[in-house]
Structure 1
Amino acid sequence: MVDRTKDQSAASATIEDAPTRQGLPNDADPSLTDALAVAKALDVDPNVGLSSAEAARRLERFGPNELAGAPPVPKWKKFLAQFKDPLVYLLLAATVISVIAWFIEKANAVPGAEGGEALPFDAIVIVLILIVNAVLGYIQEAKAEAAVEALAGMTAPTTSVLRDGKVVRINTTDVVPGDIIVLAEGDSVSADGRLITAASLRIAEASLTGESVPVSKKPDTLREAKALGDRTNMIFNGTSVTQGTGRAVVTGTGMATQVGKIAGMLSATEDEQTPLQKEMDYVSKILGIAVVIIAVVVLAALAFLEGFNDIHDVIDSLLLAVSLAVAAVPEGLAAILTVVLALGVQRMAAHNAIVKKLHSVETLGSASVICSDKTGTLTRNEMTVERIVTPSGEVHLTGTGYTPEGKMTAADGSPLSGDPSLKAEALATLAAGTIANDGDLREENGRWEVVGDPTEVSLIVAARKTGAMKGYGQFTRVAEVPFTSERKRMSVIAKDATEGGKLTVFAKGAPDVLLSYCSRIAVGGHVRPLTEGDRQTILATVERLSGEAYRTLGEAYRPLGTANLSEVDGVRANAAGQVADIAEQADAIETDLIWNGMVGIIDPPRTEVRDSVAEAHRAGIRAVMITGDHPLTAARIASDLGIIEKGGKALTGDQLDALGDDRAAFDKATSEVSVYARVAPEHKLKIVESLQRQGNIVAMTGDGVNDAPAVKTADIGVAMGITGTEVTKQSAKMILADDNFSTIVAAVREGRVIFDNIRKFLRYLLSSNVGEVFTVFFGVVLAGFLGITQPESTGVTVPLLATQLLWINLLTDAAPALAMGVDPQTEDVMNRRPRRITDRVIDASMWGDIIFIGIIMAAVTLIGMDMHLAGGLFTDRSVDALGHEAQMTEARTMGFTILVFAQLFNALASRSHLQSVFVGLFSNKWLWGAIGLSVALQLVVIYVPFLNTAFGTTPLSPLAWLECIGLAAFVLVASELRKCVLRAMAGR
């Protein structure tokens, strides 16, 4: 037994060192050690794998199989980060200025005289509101991080391992040293390991070694130590399987892998800002520059016209500049954006669309083309063999789905009893397809579970229905030439125990492809040469079945007449009789085959997809089918689903190839054709690139490893959650948990709703803040006309205090804006053309809304103040016994309250650019709750005595309340009138 007390200290070694060996002696290099010896050293049986209990112990000892990330940021640092903002710095400067002004005022006060504030309330309120804003921002960001972490858990990669004698799928983080990894085409390699078996195994290692060509892997022991790229019997974390199958024993996990060593040398990268965040930074910057310019102009004008007589004038002027800055920028905008996106992504995940990155939501709403595979996405993925066609005739097979219950009947439905040759040929056809098969069918808790490709499993189901394998159970597989999308066929060499171990080749594949490798045909229990007439009959049957939406698979076989592969004609072997990788010798194996027959497999369309296709078309989104199936099958399914009209044609991969490098011709074809059949993965990539050249935002589905380039290139790469390979899932921006086309359309709809809601609260926030800026600016510029002055003093009299503006932003930037972010979808969300990705989030029409509402908001606020001041433009209220200061406090309270209520009315008006506020007025209960909360908090500020002092407010009379609500409601009235005019101009 080896010593297992070593830890992962070797992870700090250089890349050139031998691989880190968790649980292996330090001097043991797995690539130079026999695979079975490595497994023995790691105390694991390669045929059984680790036990669950032992795996748990090793996981606790070695830790999770993940790369070490940056240390978590402490909560106190995240909280302090909320203050890292230029606006906050301005407010802190205002606090310092306010405290200095208070000290000066106290120092100049006459002893024994009343006057002045006991405490610097302005400074205290600014600090408190900054803290409240920071707390809200911290909470919102924490919720967004939790949402992203939850999504990361949903998209966590998995690995097939051998545990307790069974192949199971586990989270990659749970892989431990000694695990037996089971590799298949499309898998991502999750740890470093020593190969035990391999069949045509090729692994892409460019991410680790830079080698662009996939490396052929074999379990043979190396004779000398080699560089990483030449260790052909080793697998490495972070690479991917491009072909073949294999098994390996894990020798290193986490930071003890080769990629872990590289990761240890890299510094953490910063999260990239989303396009929305970048645009919001741009908008904030523009607003900030505008405010600075306005402040400089106002201060210069005041200095020129009135001059600064004392320190108080200077302080008041600086506070004015700060007030303008406070009014201009909505402090919580970035946090709200993140939370709204995170909430939307969570809603998508609940409906089986797992979006990996928040910013992908923005792209989803702009999708103009959805390119989808057929099988499983547009159809049910319940492949069922219904037809079996042999040289003697055709039989039908009853039963649907994967439950192995059904029987063979004649073509007319009558019992199959009068033609034993036809029955025997049908059984032989099903048997050949079952032996040349990588799928499996298991019964778990009364339910049949599919393992592998559904098309392959359908053959196993059919064979079990008919008992086809009763005469073939003596065959065991000894070698395989695997299926690839380029070959469109697979072959298995099996040993017959009843015939002295003699070998037979069983093959299946696309009938037109497999037929070209056949020279004989089995008819009525005899084998004869395959004639040209036979070929034409078979191909005509393929056309007929394809026209009936059947997927056809041909089956063939060839007895090799020997028990030794090295004796087969054309098979290469060394002097010792050892045969080289048989998967590389297809030319010798797949020749002179005997045609058995073919099966017709049906995969019915999903009933809900037709409605989803129609919805996509209404939304201006084009649905495109890209499949490897026969053109007639593809066209039939596409027409049934409404993707194309009845009688529409499919374009094949060969026809695309015939276009050559003529981009114009290729683009013309892709602009007109919506169904592609018999295409290879490289065609998918060309189709996506062509559609993008035409200005489309393309969503592309994929499941196989060869789909990954097209999925990654697409604007919205969509991986299949059930059938998709790990490589494809990592390349995609979205994963379909149910592999359903309707889920893509639903995700696009949700993306549009999220984007609409973002525009709603941006319209609301920016128009409200512009209203605050206009209130302060025009309140100072027009102070003489409006009576906003302090007769006993000189200098600037701001219409609203900085603390009041901060309070307004606190009310409006939080609850109402977040509530608008979850506004229900409008009826027309899928009845309009997709948004172009180049369109600005805040376009000219929205800026029109923002400026218009901002002006109205400022006007009603200043009018309300004017009505309570002496020397006003609209009224000239005499100064009562309380004096000018009390009158100014009352006027500010009026303006303060009008502005709050005007913004709450604006929240209702901003839900649409054109639609009346009364359409769906009460559909968003969260918004009404937020409005109610804001009203309650405003009442507290006005009627709680100590808050009167802090915010410079005074209780209002019932008549004043009527004036406040009436003036504030004019924002809603003006918005409705503007919408009526815009609707009339738009002809609605």
Structure 2
Amino acid sequence: MAQTITAPAEVDERQPPTELFRHLRSTPGGLRSREAARRLTVYGPNELSRRQARIWPRQLLAQFTQPLAVLLMVAAVLAWAGHSPALAVAVVAVILLNAGFAFVQERQAERAVEALAAFLPLSARVMRDGELVEVPGRDLVPGDVIEITEGDRICADARLIDGSVAVDLSTLNGESLPAVRTADTEHVPGPLLEARELVFSGTSCTAGQARAVVTHTGMHTEIGRIAALSQRGHTEASPLERQVRRATWIIAAVAVTAGVAFLPIGVLAGLGWAAAITFSIGLIVANVPEGLLPTITLALAAGVRALARSGAVVKRLSAVETLGSTTVICTDKTGTLTENRMHVTHLWVAGREWAVAVAGRDRLCRELAVAAATCTTARLPGDGVSAGGGDPTELALLRLAAALGVPVSGSSRDSARTVLYAFDPRSKRMSTVTGGHLHVKGASESVLPLCTRFLDDSGRFSALTDSIRDEVAAAVDGYARTGLRVLAVAQRIAEPDLLAAGREAAEKDLTLLGLVAMVDPPREAVPAAVAAAHRAGIRVHVITGDYGPTAAEIAAQVGIGDGRRRVVTGAELEQMDDADLDHLLGDGQEIVFARSSPEGKLRICEALRSQGHIVAMTGDGVNDAPALRHADIGVAMGRSGTDVAREAATMVLTDDNFATIVRAVEAGRRVYDNVRKFVLYIFAHAVPEVVPFLIFALSGGAVPLPLTVLQILAIDLGTETLPALALGRERAEPGLMSRPPRSPKAGVIDGRLLLRAWGVLGVVSAVLVTAGFFWVLWRAGWEPGATLPGEVYAQATTMTFAGIVACQVGTAFAARTDHASLRSVGVFSNRLLLGGIAFELVFTAAVIYLPPLQAVFDTAALGGAELLFLAPFPLLVWGADEIFRAWRRRRGADATKEAPSCESATS
């Protein structure tokens, strides 16, 4: 009978090895091959899997049932029925394009999980049948005993049973410094990732050698848990997508209802069935904005291209608009707020502090810089390697020596070195031997206890008394409080054989040369970007795996927190329930979350979203993938980020710069405003297109139909398209980033827009167009009910068609601003709009004056009198809207003036 094996999820990996082996039914000699094969059948392969397989044909087909797609299909059918196959084909092409965009978007989560799988190695060294053999990484099972050495990528979560290793955990916790893991350690309560006896799948061994027993494999590992979090839920539609979907259903319902409702009205009014059907089709076509979706798509695409030029690659078109409604930015620190480039700012030598700018004139400072630079392995660009490379801290020390006029050449340094004692994460120091000189650098708490003397201000080696030690400790604490990282530098002069006899023998009786304080400085553009975000009503939180006080200091330097430093550690966050977290995030204060975990980052994101915020979340590591996936806008780092983060994110920063996020928010607001502008432009023409059909129906046919269906299609998909696209490229209005974020519930199409489109621009245009139509009939001597000659009727409908186009020109200029006057943005500043209007006029002239097109669209040439009648239409339409906006601005100014008095009255 087979033994019962404890399920991986039930194993307490932090218990002593003897008990762990008993629970796993294993031994320090590993498993037998037959037992390992059986467990592989029970637990499955050691690999990441998708929660649910998606059938891509079904995903793709679902895109064609979206309301915009359905509405465009109706428009395509109408265009085909109206003998315009070219227009029908163009609309179908737009449907296919949008379906492709949405399909690609939905598959991003699957690609993120595939990228996570790249962190798992192909093979591992395992004890099987009492021998150390190499097996595929996917064949590991709980109970296996694996060997881990320097350079290995760890295949599974495991508990060390002997030895000690330094492990790079940055893929899981975001910290760049290696963490020491050792078998002979006492159990200390705390987060799992900080357990000193555990190693995790997907991390790398940077030093040491050890053996470990596998406790979890596949999706039960920490990296598997992150993969599961990344797959949880689904990508939600952006505010624009939701609003346009709702608006298009409303438009479609209104169009179809109006067409069906007026069909019997037309018959009862005395029209024949053929005329009534023609009227109904015309009413539907007039109400359906065929150009709306392609115009939105192309405007968003233009926004994507503009963001790419400024350093932000957006992978989903609708994300451009979502950026504009961002209310909270959750940002990482290193490389996003900072330059990710260590820079030495101060030196402490012989009881005196020196700024680097003036330290070059002091001999002791130069000696300190040379000693620190000698104890490195990095190289600056041009020093034997074109791009340079190495630890950022060591690069900072090399730059320090060069700045003080005592550069240290990497090639000469390495050739003269006789012994290298590499950086030990446990002792937090590194040493090098050059002849009879030992140079040591490391954390002050590591180096200072080994020192017995120090270099005094006269350049002599003096005894390191307790008072001097207290002075050094005070200097270290002072630097740490200001967010600086401190290294102590020491040396020893002795016989080369003694210094080469081993680390323990060499690193004693040291002489303290001084302290080096350095910082990863904030990016130059970040303070201004944070200030711009605050002016725009956007709150900024810092979520980092770094040390709290350091992160708080950087946040304060760039203006986050408004002078108040609120730091919440990962342990404190874990102890909070949801109500406490909601209260913390709801008080309006900006917070630094330090030592954050993947779950913590995801909790913060979901808590903010539950409060109605639109969240932009930055990240660069594997541990950031779940939060990037579930934020409204996931922002990954292009330079320092992992493939996993880039796949999970919606936007990738090619320059890793926080300022680029704020520029993207500004671009998103501009795109949203421009979407409203061309929606206004398109909707304004519905009134002058519908009114002629109402006149025709309500007169019972006594007034001839002022506009044909084909002429409406020529307007909706011909003359209005290019100006609408040009409005999508309009520059930002003044004060764009000085107003608060709009509510996610605020629709693109709201009452204010409809009032302006239908109540102002639409009514004025309808009055002018109708006047032009009846003016032509009056000049021809027409009376109600009389039969018109074909040439007169064609000229009258052409006048209506041309009148709508003329009003479009005025509407285009009026739609360029939502609040400000046209003069504030420049009458002729949008050259694309001028080009679009020029095309519109040329296209209209071709439809009116070219015989082949006259036959298609039932138009007739207009004379000079008709053209003079049409000439003031654009100015009248624009002027009416300019007066309306001036009245609204005056009302807004009056409301603002009254607000303080109201507040004072209540106080």
User: TM-score, normalised on structure 1?
Assistant: 0.63
Residue in structure 2 matched with residue 942 of structure 1 by the alignment? 848
CA separation of 1:530 and 1:840: change in aligned 2, threshold 3 A = farther
Residue in structure 2 matched with residue 600 of structure 1 by the alignment? 517
Distance in 1 of aligned mates of 2:145 and 2:627: 22
The answer (yes or no) to whether the contact 2:522–2:558 under 8 Å persists in 1 is yes
Counterpart among 108, 118, 140 of residue 189 in structure 1 = 118
The answer (yes or no) to whether the contact 2:239–2:744 under 8 Å persists in 1 is no
- Please tell me the residue identity of whatever aligns with 2:893: G
Q: Is 1:282 matched with 2:254?
A: no
The answer (yes or no) to whether the contact 2:450–2:508 under 8 Å persists in 1 is no
CA separation of 1:649 and 1:448: change in aligned 2, threshold 3 A = farther
Distance in 2 of aligned mates of 1:692 and 1:529: 60
- Please tell me the residue identity of whatever aligns with 1:454: P
Q: Is 1:360 matched with 2:319?
A: yes
Counterpart among 880, 889, 895 of residue 983 in structure 1 = 889
Distance in 2 of aligned mates of 1:917 and 1:759: 16
Q: Is 1:699 matched with 2:616?
A: yes
- Please tell me the residue identity of whatever aligns with 2:118: V
- Three-state SS of the structure 2 residue aligned to 1:441 is coil
- Three-state SS of the structure 2 residue aligned to 1:735 is strand
Deviation per CA, 1:387-418, whole angstroms, max 9, x where unpaired? 3447x54564857xxxxxxx965xxx5333xx
Residue in structure 1 matched with residue 262 of structure 2 by the alignment? 298
- Three-state SS of the structure 2 residue aligned to 1:953 is coil
Report matched runs for 1:412-431 at 5 Å.
413-416=361-364
- Three-state SS of the structure 1 residue aligned to 2:822 is coil
Distance in 1 of aligned mates of 2:145 and 2:310: 40
Residue in structure 2 matched with residue 891 of structure 1 by the alignment? 796
- Three-state SS of the structure 2 residue aligned to 1:322 is helix
- Please tell me the residue identity of whatever aligns with 2:285: V
Distance in 2 of aligned mates of 1:950 and 1:699: 52
Deviation per CA, 1:175-209, whole angstroms, max 9, x where unpaired? xxxxxxxxxxx997379644699xxxxxxxxx999
Displacement of 1:341: 1.3
- Three-state SS of the structure 2 residue aligned to 1:451 is coil
The answer (yes or no) to whether the contact 1:614–1:642 under 8 Å persists in 2 is yes
- Please tell me the residue identity of whatever aligns with 1:295: G
Distance in 2 of aligned mates of 1:773 and 1:555: 83
- Three-state SS of the structure 1 residue aligned to 2:329 is strand
> Any gaps of 5 or more consecutive residues in structure 2?
1-32, 34-54, 127-136, 161-170, 173-200, 209-233, 895-907
Counterpart among 549, 572, 595 of residue 657 in structure 1 = 572
CA separation of 1:691 and 1:387: change in aligned 2, threshold 3 A = same
The answer (yes or no) to whether the contact 1:491–1:505 under 8 Å persists in 2 is no
Displacement of 1:453: 4.7
- Please tell me the residue identity of whatever aligns with 1:858: A
The answer (yes or no) to whether the contact 2:341–2:392 under 8 Å persists in 1 is yes
Q: Is 1:330 matched with 2:289?
A: yes
Q: Is 1:780 matched with 2:696?
A: yes
Q: Is 1:811 matched with 2:811?
A: no
Counterpart among 476, 480, 490 of residue 542 in structure 1 = 476
Q: Is 1:836 matched with 2:759?
A: no
Displacement of 1:597: 6.0
The answer (yes or no) to whether the contact 2:765–2:804 under 8 Å persists in 1 is yes
CA separation of 1:860 and 1:209: change in aligned 2, threshold 3 A = farther
- Three-state SS of the structure 1 residue aligned to 2:684 is helix
Residue in structure 1 matched with residue 777 of structure 2 by the alignment? 869
Displacement of 1:832: 0.8
Aligned residues: 746
CA separation of 1:975 and 1:341: change in aligned 2, threshold 3 A = same
Q: Is 1:350 matched with 2:257?
A: no
- Three-state SS of the structure 2 residue aligned to 1:868 is helix
CA separation of 1:656 and 1:770: change in aligned 2, threshold 3 A = farther
Displacement of 1:803: 0.7
The answer (yes or no) to whether the contact 1:763–1:910 under 8 Å persists in 2 is yes
Residue in structure 2 matched with residue 730 of structure 1 by the alignment? 647
Distance in 1 of aligned mates of 2:640 and 2:383: 19
Report matched runs for 1:549-564 at 5 Å.
550-553=484-487
CA separation of 1:359 and 1:531: change in aligned 2, threshold 3 A = farther
Is the deviation greater in 468-477 or in 326-335?
468-477
Residue in structure 1 matched with residue 85 of structure 2 by the alignment? 127
Displacement of 1:820: 0.8
Q: Is 1:974 matched with 2:880?
A: yes
Counterpart among 434, 449, 453 of residue 523 in structure 1 = 453
- Three-state SS of the structure 1 residue aligned to 2:526 is helix
Report matched runs for 1:54-203 at 5 Å.
88=73, 92=77, 124=83, 126-131=84-89, 137=94, 189=118, 193-194=122-123
Distance in 2 of aligned mates of 1:215 and 1:985: 77
Displacement of 1:333: 2.4
The answer (yes or no) to whether the contact 1:653–1:680 under 8 Å persists in 2 is no
Report matched runs for 1:137-536 at 5 Å.
137=94, 189=118, 193-194=122-123, 218=148, 241-245=202-206, 275-306=239-270, 313-389=272-348, 392-394=350-352, 396=354, 398=356, 409=360, 413-416=361-364, 434=376, 440-443=379-382, 449-462=387-400, 465=406, 467=408, 474=417, 508=442, 514=445, 520-524=450-454
Displacement of 1:886: 3.3
CA separation of 1:719 and 1:822: change in aligned 2, threshold 3 A = same
The answer (yes or no) to whether the contact 1:431–1:463 under 8 Å persists in 2 is no
- Three-state SS of the structure 2 residue aligned to 1:699 is strand
Counterpart among 858, 883, 887 of residue 766 in structure 2 = 858
Distance in 2 of aligned mates of 1:522 and 1:667: 53
Displacement of 1:901: 1.6
Distance in 2 of aligned mates of 1:534 and 1:753: 60
Displacement of 1:889: 2.1
Residue in structure 2 matched with residue 166 of structure 1 by the alignment? none
Displacement of 1:808: 0.7
Counterpart among 530, 537, 553 of residue 613 in structure 1 = 530
CA separation of 1:626 and 1:457: change in aligned 2, threshold 3 A = farther
The answer (yes or no) to whether the contact 1:628–1:679 under 8 Å persists in 2 is yes
The answer (yes or no) to whether the contact 1:659–1:666 under 8 Å persists in 2 is no
CA separation of 1:718 and 1:134: change in aligned 2, threshold 3 A = closer
CA separation of 1:952 and 1:344: change in aligned 2, threshold 3 A = same
Distance in 2 of aligned mates of 1:801 and 1:138: 26
Displacement of 1:85: 5.2
RMSD: 5.7
CA separation of 1:945 and 1:341: change in aligned 2, threshold 3 A = same
- Three-state SS of the structure 2 residue aligned to 1:978 is helix
The answer (yes or no) to whether the contact 2:291–2:721 under 8 Å persists in 1 is yes
Displacement of 1:818: 0.9
CA separation of 1:980 and 1:553: change in aligned 2, threshold 3 A = same
Q: Is 1:924 matched with 2:837?
A: no
- Three-state SS of the structure 2 residue aligned to 1:387 is strand
User: TM-score, normalised on structure 2?
Assistant: 0.68
Distance in 2 of aligned mates of 1:591 and 1:715: 55
Displacement of 1:211: 11
CA separation of 1:370 and 1:88: change in aligned 2, threshold 3 A = closer
Is the deviation greater in 760-769 or in 923-932?
760-769
- Three-state SS of the structure 2 residue aligned to 1:867 is helix
Is the deviation greater in 669-678 or in 207-216?
207-216
Distance in 1 of aligned mates of 2:79 and 2:619: 56
Residue in structure 1 matched with residue 20 of structure 2 by the alignment? none
Report matched runs for 1:677-688 at 5 Å.
679-681=595-597, 688=605
- Please tell me the residue identity of whatever aligns with 1:726: D
Distance in 2 of aligned mates of 1:879 and 1:731: 67
CA separation of 1:335 and 1:848: change in aligned 2, threshold 3 A = same
The answer (yes or no) to whether the contact 1:474–1:497 under 8 Å persists in 2 is yes
- Please tell me the residue identity of whatever aligns with 1:950: V
Distance in 2 of aligned mates of 1:977 and 1:803: 34
The answer (yes or no) to whether the contact 2:548–2:595 under 8 Å persists in 1 is no
CA separation of 1:672 and 1:530: change in aligned 2, threshold 3 A = farther
Is the deviation greater in 798-807 or in 689-698?
689-698
